[in-house]
Amino acid sequence: MRTVDEIYNSLAQGIVDQLSSEWETAWINAKVLDDAAGVDGEYRVEGADNVSYFNVKDEAFDDFEELHQITTEGDSNRWNRAKFVLERSGKFSIDFEWDQQLEDEIKANS
């Protein structure tokens, strides 16, 4: 199993590989469920207010599922949404969130 840092590096490299040289900030929004993940990528070009979208590579699905497995081990740090933000400088942040409405929808449709 990879380390959390290795997963973060994989997510960052996946963003860099998908974008042209014009981006300023990019992020991947993830929803992680028991045995599935959904991701979408967005970015902002320098000096622009609007947001554009990019295709997130399949590896990001695996990255978020593995990150979820590591960080929620033992039922601690529960989360089902995450946002990985990468600045062009290489600085990154990640926010984890528990969305009870998402969890309720999954249970209702199971």
Strongest mean pLDDT among 12-21, 86-95, 101-110: 86-95
Confidence of residue 80 (pLDDT cuts 50, 70, 90): very high
- 67-70 long-range contacts, CB within 8 A, separation 24+: 67/4, 67/7, 68/32, 68/37, 70/1, 70/4, 70/7
Quote the tokens at residue 91.
């600085």
Q: pTM of the entire structure?
A: 0.89
Q: Does residue 46 have a pLDDT over 90? A: no
Q: What is the CATH number of the domain that holds 55?
A: 3.30.500.20
| Whole-number pLDDT of residue 11 | 97
Q: What is the pLDDT of residue 20?
A: 79
Range of the domain at 87: 4-108
The number of domains in the chain is: 1
